[in-house]
């Protein structure tokens, strides 16, 4: 009799305890679902101080010591159109096989088409940056047991915390591993731009090719490469360029001319009626020496419409010191060159204009020296004023600075039907 009473009391105790625990669990989950700032909605839990998933810490607020100790991560955003349980389990298996830090995938139905799809957030260790091609191979392996026939869309994650909330917005999400979303919050400094600065200042990376590989989004963004050049120039000391062994007399004279202070108006023209006089080779040497001294300080262009030239030049406006323009005989028509030389005059004045309606000013940080390299002679006074041109007539063995009056006389002798009116009041004894 006593044993039966004890059994009944134990049964009642267990049933009451089970009922209370289940009720408490349901009530806690209901409160977290109903609360807009709860863990299931991707908000910040006041007790855990981070994004939580049913009590599991999703985006932790790390201390400075933990941030330095934590390996660098790569953040990948995917959109998949295979959403059944087999494919969701395959994502968890891939996380273990490919050694991801964490994977968060949330299922959603498009309101316009009614087609289900998944938003996936993957974090991997930065042993080597995974390119889009490598990531695409994860889902296109023909020998894999599970095939992703619906396709995949890949992009980098810019706003980490925002994308965590986006994956969890329909509440049909699953988490495997850990997702750290403490960087790039609204109102904070852009972490990618900060990483680019640290790579140049602290790691000493000054090669633009390496920076384009490591930070493609920042370098391809408007002004990104110009910003990188500016940082490189800040940390790079001015170096004396390595001189080539053999040079002609006119090449040394051109160097001396470029070393003189710029008067803000003069445009140097290097002219030779004969080809193979070493002009293009000399221009390449000058570009190499200037860029060895300061990255992005010299630029060589072939003649093109003015709007195309200014689109190229404005990326160098903070570092440009020498602009070299090569003009061939095929592009020597005055009607074509008029706009080009008007642009060169604006550059010498320190400001040019871009865009179709000339509304965007392009200001240059340094005084830009301009060298024009050509094989034919243009009509004097047809492109720019008399005090603009420093005309250098060269051959391999000789060189001569030609006064503007001599240019006019030479033109009149060669073109009797299209003469230039010579005004004696414009010249002194030296021409």
In angstroms and rounded to an integer, the radius of gyration of the C-alpha atoms of the chain is 35
Long-range contacts of 336-340 (CB under 8 A, 24+ apart): 336/303, 337/303, 337/378, 337/383, 338/382, 338/383, 339/305, 339/306, 340/303, 340/304, 340/305, 340/306, 340/309
Answer yes or no: are the C-beta atoms of 361 and 351 closer than 8 Å: yes
| Cβ count within 10 A of residue 111 | 6
User: What is the per-residue pLDDT for 53?
Assistant: 47
Asked if the model's pLDDT at residue 120 lies above 60, the reply is: yes
Of 38-42, 207-211, 234-238, 406-410, which range is least confident?
38-42
Longest dimension (CA), the chain: 138
pTM across the whole model: 0.44
Are 114 and 121 within 8 A, CB to CB?
Answer: no
DSSP result, 35-62 = -TTSGGGT-EETTTTEEEETTEEEEE--
CA 337 to chain centre: 32
Over 80: is that where the pLDDT of 301 sits?
A: yes
Q: What is the pLDDT of residue 425?
A: 57
Q: Residues 6 or more apart from 227 whose CB is under 8 A from it?
A: 193, 196
pLDDT 10s digits, 207-261: 888 888 788 777 877 778 878 887 887 777 655 555 555 677 888 888 888 888 8
Whether the CB-CB separation of 164 and 42 falls below 8 Å is answered with yes
Q: What is the pLDDT of residue 191?
A: 47
Question: What are the tokens at 147?
Answer: 């095939």
Report the pLDDT value the prediction gives residue 30, as an integer from 0 to 100. Answer: 39
25 confidence band (pLDDT: 50, 70, 90): very low
**Each residue of 130-179: pLDDT tens digit?**
777 777 777 777 777 777 777 777 777 767 777 777 787 777 788 877 77
Residues, the chain, total? 431
Query: Which of the pair, 98 or 60, is modelled with greater confidence?
Result: 98
What is the rounded distance in angstroms from the CA atom of residue 293 to the CA atom of residue 322? 12
Task: State how far the Cα of 303 lies from the Cα of 318, in Å rounded to an integer.
Answer: 22
Q: Specify the pLDDT at position 67.
A: 53
Position 63 scores a pLDDT of 55
CA distance 119 to 348: 53
Residue 52: its pLDDT value, please? Answer: 46
Q: Which CATH entry fits the domain spanning 44-177: 2.40.50.100, 3.40.1310.20, 3.40.50.1980, 3.40.50.1010?
A: 3.40.1310.20
Fold held by 249-426: Rossmann fold (3.40.50)
For residue 35, what are the contacts with CB-CB under 8 A and spacing of at least 6?
Answer: 41, 43
Per-residue pLDDT, 429: 54
Q: Which of 370, 365, 264, 371 is CA-nearest to residue 317?
A: 365
Domain extent listing, the chain: 2-34, 44-177, 191-235, 249-426
């Amino acid at each position: 009799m006593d044993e039966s009473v004890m059994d009944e009391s134990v049964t009642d105790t267990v049933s009451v305890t089970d009922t209370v625990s289940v009720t408490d669990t349901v009530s806690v989950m209901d409160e977290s679902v109903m609360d807009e700032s709860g863990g299931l909605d991707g908000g910040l839990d006041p007790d855990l101080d981070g994004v939580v998933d049913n009590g599991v810490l999703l985006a932790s607020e790390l201390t400075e010591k933990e941030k330095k100790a934590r390996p660098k991560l790569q953040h990948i955003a995917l959109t998949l159109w295979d959403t059944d349980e087999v494919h969701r389990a395959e994502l968890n298996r891939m996380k273990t096989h490919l050694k991801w830090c964490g994977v968060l995938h949330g299922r959603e139905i498009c309101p316009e088409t009614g087609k289900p799809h998944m938003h996936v957030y993957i974090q991997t260790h930065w042993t080597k940056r995974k390119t889009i091609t490598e990531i695409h191979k994860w889902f296109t392996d023909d020998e894999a047991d599970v095939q992703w026939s619906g396709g995949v869309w890949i992009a980098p994650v810019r706003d980490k915390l925002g994308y965590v909330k986006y994956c969890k917005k329909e509440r049909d999400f699953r988490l495997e591993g850990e997702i750290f979303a403490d960087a790039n919050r609204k109102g904070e400094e852009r972490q990618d731009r900060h990483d680019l600065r640290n790579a140049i200042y602290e790691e000493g990376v000054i090669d633009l090719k390496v920076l384009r590989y490591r930070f493609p989004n920042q370098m391809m963004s408007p002004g990104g490469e110009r910003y990188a050049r500016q940082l490189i120039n800040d940390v790079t000391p001015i170096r004396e360029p390595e001189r080539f062994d053999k040079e002609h007399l006119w090449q040394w004279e051109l160097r001396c001319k470029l070393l003189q202070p710029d008067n803000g108006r003069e445009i140097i023209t290097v002219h030779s009626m004969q080809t193979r006089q070493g002009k293009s080779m000399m221009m390449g040497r000058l570009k190499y020496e200037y860029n060895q001294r300061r990255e992005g300080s010299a630029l060589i262009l072939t003649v093109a419409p003015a709007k195309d030239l200014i689109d190229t030049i404005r990326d160098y406006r903070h570092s440009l010191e020498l602009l070299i323009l090569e003009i061939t005989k095929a592009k020597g028509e005055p009607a074509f060159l008029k706009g080009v030389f008007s642009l060169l005059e604006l550059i010498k004045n320190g400001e040019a204009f871009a865009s179709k309606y000339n509304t965007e000013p392009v200001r240059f940080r340094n005084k830009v020296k301009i060298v024009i390299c050509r094989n034919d002679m243009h009509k004097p006074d047809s492109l720019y004023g008399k005090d603009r041109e420093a005309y250098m007539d060269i051959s391999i063995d000789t060189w001569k600075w030609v006064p503007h009056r001599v240019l006019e006389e030479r033109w009149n002798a060669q073109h009797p039907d299209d003469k230039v009116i010579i005004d004696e009041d414009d010249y002194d004894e030296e021409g």
